[in-house]
Amino acid sequence: MGPDNEKSSGNVKEAETKKFYDIHCHAFNWSHLNVIVFLKRFKIKLLLPAGPLVWLYNKIKPDTKRRFQNLLSLMENDIGSYFLLTEYFLKNGEPKVVSSNNTFTIDNVTFNKIVLTPLIMDYGYKNIEQPDIFYNRPPRKPIREQVIDVFNGIKTYCENQLTEDKWDGRLKYKDDVKDNKLFEIYPFLGLNTRHYDCKKLTEMLEKYFKNYEGKQQPLYENMGKFNGDIDGAGFRSNFFAGIKVYPPLGFDPWPDDSYERKKVEILYDCCIGKGIPITTHCSDGGFRVDENADNYTAPGMKWKKVLEKYPELKINFGHFGYQSKFLGFFPRIWPFSRTQWRDSIIELMSKYPNVYADFSCISLSDEECKHLEDLIKEKKSANPELESRILFGSDFLISLIWTNSYNEYLNNFITTKSLQSLKENFCSKNPEKFLFN
């Protein structure tokens, strides 16, 4: 059944169950990852054993080890198996979230599809400094190799399912068809304008988005059709649902340099003209290798200037501007996260019609869900649009650093007593509006 959300019964059209959207997730393995960037991301964790934190580190080390082993176990798979394993465990793992016929219910609303928008990362960072090693040139991580891998994985997912062998209990592939699948998978193209000249950037946007429609039907029709030829006429528009940018890796949303500014304007003009959504990383965590990471990421600085010129730009601030409780290695005196970035996003939402934010940097514990609910109540009088601009996101598989499984994350959202009147907005109505024209 395609994405029209209806089926025919004689001459009567009968409404189908709804689609659940995970607007912020990932699909990568070791071949995609820039390991140097990965190590830089976890530098603080590697330094934790120093000084007075030894005792605390030794206390949490076994759980940390288990979580990383869990993360790496999934990352060792090819992308097709990654999707198939995630689907299999949602139906068979604990807590069991999805029934065998793909349905699950949230606050009396039944869903039968999960739309995933894997955010491809443009890791081809050119200015990683490695002065202390002999082979000091950063590795090439061309985005095209990730694109090929992800779309080959989607095709594998569409044509197979995992079943348990009744004799030895091992998982094996079994033929399947796309209409039976739980997931609809519509990736976002990772793009850092610094890596391309104007001509190449224009060619990429033309190649992947020339006839972009911003509708679900053509995306669904192309899902699983990739034949391995990224340059062929059969791989063009309506394979990607949007564009992902990542300021901590050096993407500058509004450069001072005139040539670099021209490149981002090419990007924004294309997105405005075609209605292409952008998701930008917006937290003080992540893969931070550029010394200007905060300046590029902060929604109230560079992005504010972008929206002043491009007020119709459709943009999702991933992680809702989350800022940690720490400044460097020194915790603040009070035990609350900083909120400047989050408040800037809410202010931008009140001014611009297509500004969104996802909450993909939390575990969705009852405490965190209650905090989000209270925040919306507090800000709603000044910004009535707020609850229609927030999106569900998981940050899976990175979220395995702080949760045990995708099952656990979804189950937390399903079972929390908070947000009961808002869940359908966050996981269905709002993301449909963000993704599709």
Residue 3 pLDDT more than 90?
Answer: no
Q: Can you list the domains of the chain with their CATH numbers?
A: 20-435 (3.20.20.140)
Secondary structure in 3-state letters for 8-68? EECCEEEECCEEEEEEEECCCCCCCCCHHHHHHHCHHHHHCCCHHHHHHHHHHHHHHHHHH
In this prediction the pTM is 0.89
**DSSP code at position 100:** T
Q: Is the pLDDT of residue 90 over 60?
A: yes
CA 383 to chain centre: 25
Q: Of 154, 110, 141, 120, which is closest to residue 414 (Cα–Cα)?
A: 110
Element (H, E) at 162: strand 160-164
Least confident of 36-45, 127-136, 207-216: 36-45
Nearest to 360 by CA among 325, 410, 402, 320: 320
Separation CA 377–CA 382 (nearest Å)? 10
Give me the mean pLDDT over the 297-316 stretch: 98
3-state secondary structure 239-280: CCCEEEECHHHCCCCCCCCHHHHHHHHHHHHHHHHHCCCEEE
pLDDT at 356 over 50: yes
* Separation CA 181–CA 83 (nearest Å): 11
Distances, alpha carbon 230 to alpha carbons 185, 212, 233, 236, in Å = 18, 16, 9, 8
Identify the bridge partners of residue 13 per DSSP, sorted by sequence position.
8
Per-residue pLDDT reduced to its tens digit, 267-300 = 999 999 999 999 999 999 887 777 889 999 999 9
Q: How many residues are present in the chain?
A: 437
75-88 pLDDT per residue, tens: 999 999 999 999 99
Task: Give pLDDT, residue 326.
Answer: 57
Strand segments (E) across 349-404: 355-358, 390-391
User: What's phi and psi for 206, nearest 5 deg?
Assistant: -65, -40
pLDDT recorded at residue 41: 53
Question: Who has greater pLDDT, 327 or 340?
Answer: 340
| C-alpha pair distances (Å), 412 with each of 173, 363, 409 | 30, 8, 5
Q: What are the beta bridge partners of residue 110?
A: 105
Cis previous bond, 49, omega within 30: no
Q: Which two tokens stand for residue 12?
A: 């009567």
Question: Which of the four pLDDT bands, split at 50, 70 and 90, describes residue 319?
Answer: very high
Residue 6 has pLDDT above 60, yes or no: no
